[in-house]
A and B are shown apart, each in its own frame.
Chain A
Amino acid sequence: MNWRLFAPVIAIVVFALLWEAVVWVNDWPNYKMASPSDLGPAFWKFRWLFLEYGWDTLWRTVAGLLLSVLVGLLLGMIMGLNRTMRDALYPLLVGFNAIPKATVVPIIALLFVGAHDMNTILIAFLISFFPIAVSVSIGLSTLEPEYRDILAALGASRFTIFWKIALPKTLPEFFGALKVAVTLAFIGTNLMEIVEPHGRGLGHLFDSGKISADYPLMFAVLIALAVLGILLYYVVVVLERIFAGWAERSPT
């Protein structure tokens, strides 16, 4: 048995058992704290909604994330390749990032009432582009001049230097930021789904559970979110292995 696969499974089982034990020892009713054994029936009862709303949450998060990769790369390039633009934009970005996104959620929700998909994607994007923009700009602006010179001396254009050297060299930083961004985007999606009335997605299912005092359902949504989060994170890890695996040193 491969321990690298086996060990996390054991950890999850132990965690579930401890959780069950805590609820059982304290004799908590399920409207105070649901136990893992309550989750099965909750999942089964709402299995179609879980699939449907899980898909909503997933694709909205991915769409928001793609948007923030695009915009983050673009902003990172602008700030990484041009000193003046970096000086001009940096304080603005830091200020924007400092605003707690929970306060932006109602503003967006009121701005485009009823446009659930767009609102959700927008928040997922707004919350997650910052780390990408910053890491790409740092990666580009710290490129050693010799890297530029070996191609510039051959008459290479700025674009060629960017494409052949600067961009691939920045990929490890980019994927580091993407791992942070994927979690943030996921949080953004759920914030909006919980707040918006008549919405869809796992966030909305959570809110329904709250309104109807269905505690096992609320906990089941949390577990579903955790599973989706793990899935998204490891997709990024696999992409990183493929595109920036060279940065990982073999253990010697």
Chain B
Amino acid sequence: MESKISICTVVDVIESLSGGTLQNGNLCMMDNSPYNSTNQGTPNLCTLCYPGQTINWTILALDVQTPVEIKNINISSSG
């Protein structure tokens, strides 16, 4: 298959709003990159991809009654 990558984020919206943070396990990210991305299932996912590759982001709330959306994505170089 030609390779595009999907990055999926799952958020426990109620817990995030209650605690005021997306940390503490309230957010997990995973992808389907064929190149063995690291930190799957954590907020610190490092997706391995090649230059020019298409990446799609989706987000999902744990509870179907708590909508969540991606507002913006910023790409910055990591130290």
- Do the two chains bind? no
Residue ranges of A at the interface with B (Cβ–Cβ < 8 Å): none
Q: Which residues of B pack against A, CB within 8 Å? A: none
